[in-house]
Structure 1
Amino acid sequence: MGRSGGPPCGAPGTCPSRAAPGPWRLRHSGPIDSNASDLMPTSTPIPAQARFPVSGMSCQACAASVEGLLRSVEGIRDAEVSFGSRSAAVTLEGEGPDESRVRSVLAKAGYGLPEGAFGGRAVAADVAYSEREEARAQRANLAAVGVAAGSGLALLAAHMLAAPAWLGPVVAAPAVFIAGRGILTSGWKAARRRAPDMNTLVGLGALTAWTAGAFGVVAPAVFGAAGGHVHAAVMILAFVLFGRWLEGRARARASDAVRALLDLAPPTARILVRGEETIVPLADVRVGQLVLVRPGERIPVDGAVMDGRTSVDESMLTGESAPAERGPGDRVHAGTMNGLGALAIQATGIGADSALGRITEAVHRAQGSRAPVQRLADRVSAVFVPIVLAIAVASFVAWLVFTGDLQAAIAHGVSALVIACPCALGLATPTAVMVGTGRGASEGILVRGAAALERLAGVDTFAFDKTGTLTAGRPELASVELTADGPAGGDGDEDALLARVAAVERSSEQPLAHGIVQAAKARGLTVPAATDFEADPGSGVRARVLHRSMWVGSPRAAGERGHPPRAIEALIGPIARRGETPVLVEEDGRLVAALGLYDAPRPGSLEALAALRELGLATLVLSGDHESAVRRLARELGIDDARARQLPEEKGEVLRALRSSGRRVAMVGDGINDAPALTAADVGIAMGGGADVALEAADCALLTDDLARLPVLVRLARRTMRTIRQNLAWAFLYNIIGLPFAAGVFEPGLGLSIRPSWAAAAMAASSVCVVLNSLRLRWVRLV
């Protein structure tokens, strides 16, 4: 029968998918039966695209600059750079770019990329490169902080000892020209490209303060005392560099979900070679080899258990806390923890080709994605630095013209330069997305990207497929109704008929068909052979059994075959009143029986739907099943609305109609017939036991069949968007309030202003606050 209770007994592929390509794919190799879910999301490489880390970025303006540089290279059609994840995704054209040319263009601007960036690098290689570059930058920042702090202490000592004024600029020089070298160089390069960034602002502010101090040595009456200016220059760089170091540490924690996934796989595996155990690097293991796993070890590869029994802790992949029992024929996955038994596993997936590798790739891609809500921050960041430069110049000129105080004019101009923080704007969205998607992965939930999270946070209606989603997908035969004259040939007893129907359904892979076959086995019936099997999508299945022409299908399909509606209704009436799913049987052109099947609700579905209602969400079930069965399920689970006898394309039309009426809809499904509905919804969510095409159409995937993950997913999306809004509000308010104070707008009337050193401290703190606020998503309660 149809996966969603739709046209019964159809063969696989009953509905041509309109699914758009996506990153989720069901991968199953070998004829192994498994109690474990074979569904593991796989990242399908998008043609003509490349993704790679970029080093050297220090603010959102840098990301915009890298985007422009990449787009200027022949062979790159488009580029999207994430400052939060320090990565770039480029769309290629033709044969793609010359990598050395791209490297040269970026290097001239102070940025770097790894070798083989356009050659389909593995996630592990990208993460290792990013970690090396981040560690190098952190060491450089810490060393620079040490130099600046040393200059600051030397200045303090000089002041206490009443040293000569000329000593101040000399002592401050190492802080400005050694500790601040990277900032000055990057800022100058950005200015030369007419794309000034945060380094330009900070470098100009520090250099202006130091220069004023140097001139103050020879003309203190005009420029003021040298000590105040050079102290400001040193403190600006010290605070900014220390803030970057803190930000780097916090940001590393925001992006550690991918590293945590990579660390699940052991670096070596124990294989059997000519009867002897040998430990080899994981990269040397080949598909088909026998891998041995001892008690308490992590399983290194995906594979089928050939020998041994054990319990496996899969919580790190699926979020499911209960250990899963595994024995011969069952599947196990890389990164899961073996229990007390020893296993011999035939490897089917290794490294990037394992379930763990594909999950890691999916999370890595999601963390580098850009949410639509970030567009406002991007637009502001594009003009932010030039506006700040204009404000600083205006502040300097206004103070000089109206007060004639050059020292105050310099101080306010420098404060305006260094207090502005485009970094907070640039980090507001990506850091929250990185932490949110990482938290989702730890909960057994994969999200395609930031846009899916944003749409899900605004959903007000959840639509569900029935069979295999709200139900366990294992219908059982509940009743058999024979017609008055019964089957032809005098062979009309129930068991004989059931055996013949099972012969037809044995070649079908649909859940209702499986329930009929299992019922025949449970009764110990001998199932005859069937010939000329044919599945007609939307019309059921037919075959020849014991010289009879048999057809099995839904009441709707029976009506389309010409059987009188009154006869159909009379036959299925008792089944419908019990809320069972009717399946009609035709022999040699005559309706001879109706079978009633019942698919019980999935364990935990009642509680999951109640939790969704508590979140203010309306619920709807869309099914191709008979109306009585759908209504019964809706009553049992407390679902708000139920639509029965829906063909796959009709489900999509229902969802489009809901969306056109202003509803925001998420669709949850797992089967082939669900793909059109998944693509028609605002957000498509695929269940862990679903079919390949359903996952291809989905925006999110649950790694298990546990519906309790759904309210967790909704809370995660809402919390992530709330955090993004908080970050953006903080970033905008900080700059809107801080800039006037730094420029001295409130000093004449209220006596309120910010000194350059404190302006730099505030700027550094603003970025750190955004990252720390995003990190709260790691610990927020979602259940």
Structure 2
Amino acid sequence: MANIACTHCKLEFDESVMIIEQEGEKKLFFCCKGCQGVYHLLSSEGLDTFYDKLGDTKLQPASQKSDDLEKFDLEGFKNKYITSHEDGLYEINLIIEGIHCSACVWLNEKVLHKTEGVMEATINYTNNKAKIVWDPDEIKLSKIIETIRSIGYNAYPYDPKLQEERAVKTRKDYYSRILVAVFGSMNIMWIAIAHCAGYFSGMKQEFKDILNVAEFILATPVLFYSGWIFFRGAYYGYKNNIVNMDTLVASGAVSAYIYSIYAMVTQRGEVYFDSVAMIITFVLVGKYLEVLSKKHAVDTLDSIMGSTPTEVTVITDKEKSLISIENIVLGDTIELKPGEKVVIDGIVTYGQASFDESSLTGESEPVYKQEGDSILSGSLCLDSVLRYEATKDASSSLLHSIVSLLEESITKKPRIEQLADAVSGYFSSIILAIALIAFAGWWFIDDDFEHALIIGISVIVIACPCALGLATPMATLVGISIAAKRGVLFKEATFLETMAKSDLLALDKTGTITEGKPSVVHTQTLQKYDHNLLYSLVSTSNHPISKGIATYLKQNNELLQELPLVDIKTIQAKGIQASYQGKKLIGGNASYMQSTGLSVDEQTENTLFYFAIEDQLVARFELSDTVREGTKEAIKEIQAMGVRVVMLTGDHEQSAQKVAQEVGITEIHTKLLPQEKAEMIDKFHEEGHIAVMAGDGINDTIALAKSDIAIAMGNGADVAISVSDVVLMDEKPESIYEAYRLSKRTFRAVKENLGFSLLYNVIAVPLAVMGFVNPLVAALSMSLSSLIVVGNSMRIKTLKFKDKS
């Protein structure tokens, strides 16, 4: 039984995988269970039922096996791969297999967006990773997977370990196809040389026929085996009325192949089997190098996300046991040995050790930890055994937050990439139309079918939608990777574009420009008082001033205790008040004291804190904060970029002016409440500025939310990650400067890539239309254009940074 065709998809297949059914007197043949199931679905329910949820987008029914779909709806699968949102929506990261160009991305996103129940679908072209958000009440995940398969692609959950295995398998597949292509092409070129020699010196037809047949034999496996991936992509594109890069390559190569067979059989004209082989070889090698380059770019992120232990040693009733990190609960005692990575945040309860936190903060120096110190997931225990108590579970630890942040960042597309994707979706169709017009025009003008066909093929092959599609995602991926390595985490790739365009930076003073840990430099006791009262009051607040007072009191008083206060109130950016056994306690700055009717002296450059009991001032404290190392240099470099730098602070003018002069800021706004800082951001927007705001992520939340880019100085604190667009893991002002440099360099690379892609196509296509390019050169040019874009993106890695001290 030879040449058996599937009853559903009409493709011929190997009878060893054949499925046979009897329908009355008629036999049905299916190449897979997918075709068998869809055939009966269409027969019983009709096309309208099958397509009704996808509007006017027609899908090619699934040709993959569908008997594994039920696993996507199992509870175990959900617990492992699916994230539940507070609003009831589900989210998953998938790898879409079979994506070859930006038109593939456009098609998948278009189809998924038209699928009822799918709320969000974004795909990153550089690693084929998709973020899907859907309503489980309207659609099941298995149906989403089936929809993706129905247009010729496959999807499976993202798993770093499995992803590496699949990447190795893909590379091996490319190896074998490239090997056949190179072998065939090299031998065809030797024959082509003999052809050329015979063309100029004269060659008998029978020898020419032998050479033609030899080229035919060598070109056929190159076209149909090495070029199979292009035929497969073109087939599904045709079935779904989409013209993609695969369509261009396949149609160009097949046209030359068919004409060459005609010329060989009729002995009229020249054969172009060498062009057929070279088109496939050049484009295939180009795609493979592109895959390797993208993999190399992703490796930086993988190094941060990867090599994470899946089990930890837990101490229970003096016994040790290995427990999966997913089963760790708050309060569990975990043991760390030298060389082990921390995967759960916690507090040291026994022992001491040095930790490498370079993957989190960029600091190369080990950090010493002892009892009572907190340790962060992602750090590495270097030299001792210690035990610590888990303060978070695996899903809320810092390492998981960072990984989630990075995964999110590479799925969110900048506006310029969204535009490029939209253009790429129609680019191939336009090129195909131009090629047909060029073919018809030259045939009409010259009355030479062969010449017109070669020109049409050259137009089809030379156009490169890949370079256009790669221009933005490749550059942003490299930029995000380098930033992450430097301890600067961008939540979305689009923030690189926004920050590159920013012309104003607003900085909070305390905790951003300064260390945020003010210490007491002078005290004045106006009346004798119980220090326990003040210690209890400031202990109710996490404000740096309160912490500075508390630290001072602990250093100067051996026996301190927290008293049970009531009616505790915190007045933002002003102070705190409470009651103890009927006594009214007030602590805060001069402005707050004056608002309560107390008379205070404000003449000092330092920060002031007053303490009153029953409306009587009893103590006055002067505190000073130190400027972060490297702040002055970083601000100078940022200003040199043309960025206007301003200070927004709730502190009084004298203190702010002192810090501003020290770091080189000339524009300051003082005594601002949180809502007034936000109003200043609104004012900057009215002036036409694109504003970046850097703050501690707590008191500056409103202003951060109003800014175009919010930068949190929080050493990865939960609140910083949640409210910001960019997180500085090391809290260093130099990192803000590095974020600006990387953003501007990355956006420049994006514009260079897009400019080159457009210029290449604007020049190359007309040259091909005019007949100045043959298919061989066209294939090489197409591959090189993509590699140039990839190479230019990789140049971002040459950006030099100073070592952070």
Fold shared by both chains (TM-score > 0.5):
yes
- Find the counterpart in structure 2 of residue 168 from structure 1: 215
User: 1:94: how far off?
Assistant: 5.6
Q: String of CA shifts for 1:241-295, please: whole Å, max 9, x gaps.
A: 1111111111101111232123342455455566566667766766655443333
1:185 equivalent to 2:218? Answer no
Paired residues of 1:558 and 1:584 also in contact (CA < 8 A): yes
- The counterpart of 1:148, out of the listed 165, 168, 181, is 181
- The counterpart of 1:56, out of the listed 98, 112, 116, is 98
Deviates more, 1:443-452 or 1:274-283: 274-283
Q: How do residues 635-654 of structure 1 correspond to structure 2 at under 5 angstroms?
A: 635-654=661-680
1:583 equivalent to 2:609? Answer yes
- The counterpart of 1:447, out of the listed 490, 503, 528, is 490
Paired residues of 1:335 and 1:356 also in contact (CA < 8 A): yes
- Find the counterpart in structure 1 of residue 700 from structure 2: 674
User: 1:129: how far off?
Assistant: 4.4
User: 1:530: how far off?
Assistant: 6.0
- Find the counterpart in structure 2 of residue 535 from structure 1: 569
Paired residues of 2:301 and 2:484 also in contact (CA < 8 A): no
Q: How do residues 709-728 of structure 1 correspond to structure 2 at under 5 angstroms?
A: 709-728=735-754
1:214 equivalent to 2:257? Answer no
Q: String of CA shifts for 1:47-69, please: whole Å, max 9, x gaps.
A: 52443221100001111111122
CA shift in 2, pair 1:58/1:78, >3 Å? same
- The counterpart of 1:395, out of the listed 438, 447, 464, is 438
- Partners in 1 of 2:105 and 2:648 — Cα distance? 44
- Partners in 1 of 2:86 and 2:484 — Cα distance? 22
Percent identity (aligned) = 28
1:687 equivalent to 2:687? Answer no
CA shift in 2, pair 1:594/1:294, >3 Å? closer
Deviates more, 1:187-196 or 1:259-268: 259-268
Q: How do residues 12-411 of structure 1 correspond to structure 2 at under 5 angstroms?
A: 47=87, 48=89, 49-93=91-135, 95-114=137-156, 117=157, 125-156=158-189, 158=191, 160=194, 162=208, 163-221=210-268, 224-226=269-271, 229-266=272-309, 269-272=312-315, 275=318, 288-299=331-342, 301-348=344-391, 352-411=395-454
- Partners in 1 of 2:387 and 2:531 — Cα distance? 41
Q: String of CA shifts for 1:612-653, please: whole Å, max 9, x gaps.
A: 233333222111112221122112222121111100000000
CA shift in 2, pair 1:136/1:295, >3 Å? closer
Q: Secondary structure at the match of 1:292?
A: strand
- Partners in 2 of 1:446 and 1:46 — Cα distance? 24
Report the AA paired with residue 790 of structure 2: V
Paired residues of 1:141 and 1:245 also in contact (CA < 8 A): yes
- Partners in 1 of 2:346 and 2:114 — Cα distance? 46
1:776 equivalent to 2:802? Answer no
CA shift in 2, pair 1:697/1:586, >3 Å? same
Deviates more, 1:269-278 or 1:304-313: 269-278
CA shift in 2, pair 1:440/1:690, >3 Å? closer
Paired residues of 1:210 and 1:230 also in contact (CA < 8 A): yes
- Partners in 2 of 1:300 and 1:645 — Cα distance? 42
User: 1:690: how far off?
Assistant: 7.5
- Partners in 2 of 1:82 and 1:545 — Cα distance? 59
Deviates more, 1:649-658 or 1:537-546: 537-546
- Partners in 1 of 2:297 and 2:389 — Cα distance? 36
TM-score, length basis structure 2: 0.81
- Find the counterpart in structure 2 of residue 561 from structure 1: 596
Number of aligned positions between the proteins: 702
Paired residues of 2:378 and 2:398 also in contact (CA < 8 A): no
CA shift in 2, pair 1:580/1:412, >3 Å? same
Deviates more, 1:309-318 or 1:293-302: 293-302
1:758 equivalent to 2:767? Answer no
Q: Secondary structure at the match of 2:188?
A: helix
Gaps of 5+ in 2: 1-82, 195-206
- Find the counterpart in structure 2 of residue 612 from structure 1: 638
Paired residues of 2:356 and 2:379 also in contact (CA < 8 A): yes
- Find the counterpart in structure 1 of residue 62 from structure 2: none
**Quick one: higher RCO (CA 8 Å, sep 6+), 1 or 2?**
1
1:572 equivalent to 2:601? Answer yes
Deviates more, 1:278-287 or 1:656-665: 278-287
- Find the counterpart in structure 2 of residue 512 from structure 1: 545
- Cα RMSD for the two superposed structures: 2.7
Paired residues of 2:99 and 2:153 also in contact (CA < 8 A): yes
Q: Secondary structure at the match of 2:415?
A: coil
Q: Secondary structure at the match of 1:113?
A: strand
Report the AA paired with residue 239 of structure 1: F
Q: String of CA shifts for 1:714-734, please: whole Å, max 9, x gaps.
A: 111111111111111111111
Q: Secondary structure at the match of 2:773?
A: coil
- Partners in 2 of 1:436 and 1:676 — Cα distance? 28
- Partners in 1 of 2:620 and 2:324 — Cα distance? 59
Report the AA paired with residue 177 of structure 1: F
Report the AA paired with residue 360 of structure 1: V
CA shift in 2, pair 1:305/1:582, >3 Å? closer
CA shift in 2, pair 1:269/1:591, >3 Å? closer
Report the AA paired with residue 767 of structure 1: S
Q: Secondary structure at the match of 2:348?
A: strand
User: 1:333: how far off?
Assistant: 3.3
Report the AA paired with residue 257 of structure 1: T
- Find the counterpart in structure 1 of residue 584 from structure 2: 549
- Partners in 2 of 1:84 and 1:426 — Cα distance? 10
User: 1:299: how far off?
Assistant: 3.9
- Find the counterpart in structure 2 of residue 416 from structure 1: 459
- The counterpart of 2:689, out of the listed 663, 673, 693, is 663
Paired residues of 1:672 and 1:691 also in contact (CA < 8 A): no
Report the AA paired with residue 171 of structure 1: L
- Partners in 2 of 1:690 and 1:342 — Cα distance? 25
CA shift in 2, pair 1:702/1:44, >3 Å? farther
- Find the counterpart in structure 1 of residue 480 from structure 2: 437
- Partners in 1 of 2:316 and 2:534 — Cα distance? 49
- Find the counterpart in structure 2 of residue 24 from structure 1: none
Q: String of CA shifts for 1:190-249, please: whole Å, max 9, x gaps.
A: 02211110000100000000000011023343xx212xx111111111111111111111
User: 1:317: how far off?
Assistant: 2.2
Q: Secondary structure at the match of 1:701?
A: strand
- Find the counterpart in structure 2 of residue 36 from structure 1: none
Q: Secondary structure at the match of 1:597?
A: strand
Report the AA paired with residue 245 of structure 2: M
Q: Secondary structure at the match of 2:137?
A: coil
- Partners in 1 of 2:560 and 2:582 — Cα distance? 14
Paired residues of 1:289 and 1:346 also in contact (CA < 8 A): yes
Report the AA paired with residue 667 of structure 2: D
- Find the counterpart in structure 2 of residue 767 from structure 1: 786
- Partners in 1 of 2:486 and 2:547 — Cα distance? 32
Report the AA paired with residue 145 of structure 2: R
Q: Secondary structure at the match of 2:601?
A: helix
Paired residues of 2:720 and 2:727 also in contact (CA < 8 A): no
TM-score, length basis structure 1: 0.84
